[in-house]
Structure 1
Amino acid sequence: MKHIRADDPDGQGRWSFSSQQATLRRLDKAFRAFFDRVKAGRTPGCPRFKGRGWFDSVQWPKDGDGCRWDSQPEHPTATYVRLQGIGHVRVHQHRPVHGRVKTISVKREGRRWYVLVSCQGVPARPLPATGAVTGIDMGVASLVTTSDGEHVVNPRHLAATADRLAVVRRDLARKQRGSKRRRKAVARVAALHAKARRQRIDGAHETALALIRDYGMIVHEDLRITNMTRSASGTIDAPGRNVAQKSGLNRSILDAGWGVFLTILAHKVESAGRELIAVNPAGTSRTCARCGHCAKENHLTQASFVCTACGHAAHADVNAAVNVLRAGLALRRAAEAA
């Protein structure tokens, strides 16, 4: 990198050295993950070459090294960020920044640009203690079901825009590669996906905030979403079964945004001083919350649970949430005893 910058002072040499190092670290991370998949015997998926037009984000690892947040603090109303090689850029700051700015990233979503700031020393804002505990079950019909019987409806943001996406995708398929019209069509597709993503994140924030306000301890399933959404197509020699059904289920799981919700919930729990416990989800949907009998026949339909041993009947998601809560309480008691 030093030799490249020295040979091209008016090109690569005028950009931030630390930012270029961060990009190389991303490349190294991609190849390390590739070789790990090769060693594990999984489908490797070699990293593809990406030109400069394919990168949608760039990072400066340290505030003041190639970038400066709030570079014009004397300005009475506007906020500016200074980027090496570009200059001062005005930022529409939607909320105040707390703590000390550590890293700064610039991200492109469609035709919009965003500045992402990570901070250190952000003061926690603990909520008053409630003493209430709950277990939550993640699902597709209901995004979250608590052990108290409350259901949070899954809004299915991507499915709601499926018709519009189909129209713009057909329009995109008719465009010639490399043309200006195709770039505009790609931007329209990206805009619809970005809107669904923003709606999904906003809903996750609202749901997580409601949970931490009502409960002092929350127990959830330790889901392996990557494994759950793996394709069932198989190989040429051993093709998979029910590929279309599995593909639809994977799409619904990803549209629900379980991973996004659990990440946001963990951040809010830490800031509010609550307790979050993750438990093994094995058997929680097939085990009776009353007698403990575990059998596949207990859970034959999506919504109903009927125990074949004691006859206990309940909503399947509520029954699973109760089992999740009991497993979390058992883990906490074991940790306290140790």
Structure 2
Amino acid sequence: MIASRRQSLKHGPGRLVVDGRDQTVTRKAQFAFRPSRRQERELHTLLRVCREVYNAALQERRDAYRLAGETIRWQHQFNQIKHLKGVRDDALAYGIQPLRGAIMRCDEAMQAFFDRIKHGETPGFPRFKGAQRFNTACWDEPTSWKLRDDRRTLYIQGVGDIRLPKSAARQVGRMLGKGGRPVTLTVTRRRSGPRHLSRWVWRATVAFNDVAVEPTTPSEGEGSLVGADRGIKVTLATSSGEMLTMPRYVAAQREHLAELERAQARCVKFSREWKRLGRQIARGRRKAANQVDNWAREQAATLVGGFGILAVEDLELRNMTRSARGTVEEPGSKVAQKQGLNRELQDAALGKLTIRICVKAESAGRRVWMVNPSNTSRACSQCSHTDRANRPDQATFSCTACGYEANADLNAAANIADRGRTAETDWKVAGAPSLPRRKSRRRPRTDTELTQAA
């Protein structure tokens, strides 16, 4: 499993987020599909019904606490669905699973609200969902939907059989070939361009449990460890001496998209040319996102394939990209410069790279440590002398104590590797404990119960 910050194990200067001990993992197959006009109408109706259930569940929780001081649980709201029979048969036409999925989304939003209060963060009470802000339907169990035996047809109750593209069939075939068992389904809609364009893009995500892990032998040996430093100028620098920079996919598209947006602003709104430019803008954004994700996948696969243990600096990206604008009473300084830095950080997609490394490591049976990044760029990897003057510029490291000189990013990667080794040693001294596995809040139903429900 891939542990979150709160679930990870702390040992020395690092947190263990992937221990590589799982025999099976959970994986998702994500693909686009094109429903017929009738099926698209049914899917829109399904989302409208789910939105009504979500808003009703949230309203009931608010009223129960405000008027009676009571807390409503998701189990109680699940039991209320049966009372819709004879009253809202149009909602039950799609089965109870998508309605339960909407209730669970409301419950997760409430739990996240209380967790933020518990940890001293900005609470942000859950809001009611408008028609433009509810675009996802969820099935938490393999009932009311199924993948047909031909692997190219997705059946959804109330919608019918949806033909899937060949790429989706390949994804599903890979999961089933590794022993995967489809358990959940998520259907999402989004606009292909500006909101007023009529075209919708539909995507489905099928989660498979029990997908077999295929451990591989790293090319550098089982106990080999590598440190990875992430940055803007050099996207990924490793302690093995590699320096990888992601091409400026997003920046190149931004300049092109700015020209298209200026051209669109000169067109008559909702005209044919205005809509055509809107579709081009949407395609450009999707292309840049896909290029970034593909680059991150390739580099993560190469890194995981070479080493048995990976140490990555634990950056607080949310804090690093926080706006410097400030408030009216206390306005910030150098706001434009900070906006440019935030844009560069977001273009580098450092968080996505880490996610891809963790996913590849989990599938290959590797361990991943997130180590404390404090002073990794200022400390000498040879004598451990730490001084701001050790780094005269962005690319150069020159130790003022021992005279060691190297590229600043490679020196930081070496420090990250040292902290990863320290965390690895402390973990082994503690008995090499495993990560705590997640426990479902809902009772898993047996195959007999699922068959009867279907």
Q: TM-score range by the shorter chain?
A: 0.7 to 0.9
Q: Deviations over 1:170-189 (max 9, x none)?
A: 35556788888876655443
Q: 1:126 matched to which residue of 2? A: 215
- What is the CA distance between 1:281 and its match in structure 2? 0.7
Structure 1 CA distance for aligned equivalents of residues 203 and 144 of structure 2: 17
Cα distance in 1, alignment partners of residues 401 and 104 from structure 2: 56
1:224-243 pair list within 5 angstroms: 224-243=316-335
Q: SS at 1:116's partner residue?
A: strand
CA distance in 1, matches of 2:355, 2:329: 38
Aligned length: 331
* Structure 1 residues 312 and 261: CA distance shift in structure 2, 3 A: same
1:115 is matched with 204
Query: In structure 2, how many angstroms separate the alpha carbons of the residues matched to 1:19 and 1:187?
Result: 31
Q: Hey, what does 1:82 align to over in structure 2?
A: 155
Larger deviation, residues 155-164 vs 13-22: 13-22
The equivalent of 1:200 in structure 2 is 292
* C-alpha distance after superposition, 1:81-125 (max 9, x if no partner): 011221000112233223111111223353533322211111111
Aligned to 2:144: 66
- 1:330 is aligned to 422
Return the offset for 1:282. Answer: 0.9
DSSP-derived class of the 1:268 partner: helix
Tell me the secondary structure at the aligned position of residue 101 of structure 1.
strand
Letter in structure 2 aligned against 1:105: T
* Shift in Å, 1:286: 1.0
**1:178-213 deviation per Cα after TM superposition (whole angstroms, max 9, x unaligned):** 888876655443332222111111111100110111
2:259 — aligned with what? 167
Q: In the alignment, which residue of structure 2 is the partner of 1:100? A: 181
How far apart are residue 47 of structure 1 and its match? 5.6
Mapped partners of 1:169, 1:46: distance in 2: 35
**Map of 2:27 onto structure 1:** none
Q: Matches of residues 1-338 of structure 1 in structure 2 within 5 Å?
A: 1=53, 2=81, 6-10=86-90, 12-30=91-109, 32-33=111-112, 49-63=128-142, 65-69=143-147, 71=148, 73=149, 75=150, 79-92=152-165, 93=168, 94-95=170-171, 96=173, 97-98=175-176, 99-108=180-189, 110=192, 111-129=200-218, 130-131=220-221, 132-171=224-263, 173=265, 186-338=278-430
Query: Aligned partners of 1:165 and 1:47: how far apart in 2?
Result: 34
Letter in 2 for 1:216: G
RMSD: 2.8
Cα displacement (A) at 1:30: 3.9
Inter-CA distance 232–28: structure 2 relative to 1 (3 Å threshold): farther
d(CA) in 2 for partners of 1:163 and 1:295?
39
**86-95 vs 25-34, greater mean Cα deviation:** 25-34
Partner SS state of residue 211, structure 2: coil
Question: Unmatched 5+ residue regions in structure 1?
Answer: none
In 2, Cα distance between the equivalents of 1:32 and 1:186?
Answer: 38
Tell me whether 216-225 or 178-187 shows the greater mean CA deviation.
178-187
1:230 is displaced (CA, Å) by 1.1
Closer, same or farther: CA 322–240 of 1 in aligned 2, 3 Å: same
- Counterpart residue number, 2:77: none
| Partner in structure 1 of residue 50 of structure 2 | none
Do the aligned partners of 2:396 and 2:407 also contact (CA within 8 Å) in 1? yes
Moved more, 143-152 or 113-122: 113-122
Question: Bigger shift: 284-293 or 29-38?
Answer: 29-38
Farther-moved stretch of structure 1 (18-27 vs 43-52): 43-52
8 Å contact from structure 1 (residues 22, 61) kept in 2: yes
Q: Write the distance in 2 (CA, Å) between the matches of 1:142 and 1:134.
A: 17
- The 10-residue stretch of structure 1 (323-332 or 273-282) with the greater mean CA deviation from structure 2: 273-282
Instruction: Supply the AA of the counterpart residue of 1:13.
Output: L
Name the CA shift for 1:274/1:292 in 2 (closer, same or farther; >3 Å): same
Give the partner amino acid of 1:89: I
Distance in 1 (alpha carbons) for counterparts of 2:208 and 2:230: 31
Please, which moves more after superposition, 237-246 or 109-118? 109-118
Q: Secondary structure at the match of 2:312?
A: strand
Gaps of 5+ in 2: 1-52, 54-80, 193-199, 431-454
The one-letter code matched in structure 2 to 1:237 is E
Q: How does the TM-score come out when normalised to structure 1?
A: 0.87
CA contact (8 A) 2:246 2:295 kept: no
CA pair 154-274 structure 1, distance change in 2 beyond 3 A: same
Query: Are the structure 2 counterparts of residues 179 and 220 from structure 1 closer, same or farther at C-alpha, using a change threshold of 3 Å?
Result: same
- Distance between the aligned counterparts of 1:309 and 1:186, measured in 2? 58
Q: CA separation in 2, counterparts of 1:58 and 1:113? A: 11
Offset of residue 300 of structure 1: 3.3
- Structure showing greater relative contact order (alpha-carbon pairs closer than 8 Å, 6 or more residues apart): 2
Distance of aligned partners of 1:215 and 1:226 in 2 relative to their CA distance in 1, 3 Å threshold: same
CA contact (8 A) 1:6 1:13 kept: no
CA distance in 2 between partners of 1:148 and 1:266 (Å): 19
SS of residue in 1 equivalent to 2:415: helix
Which has the larger displacement, 190-199 or 218-227? Answer: 190-199
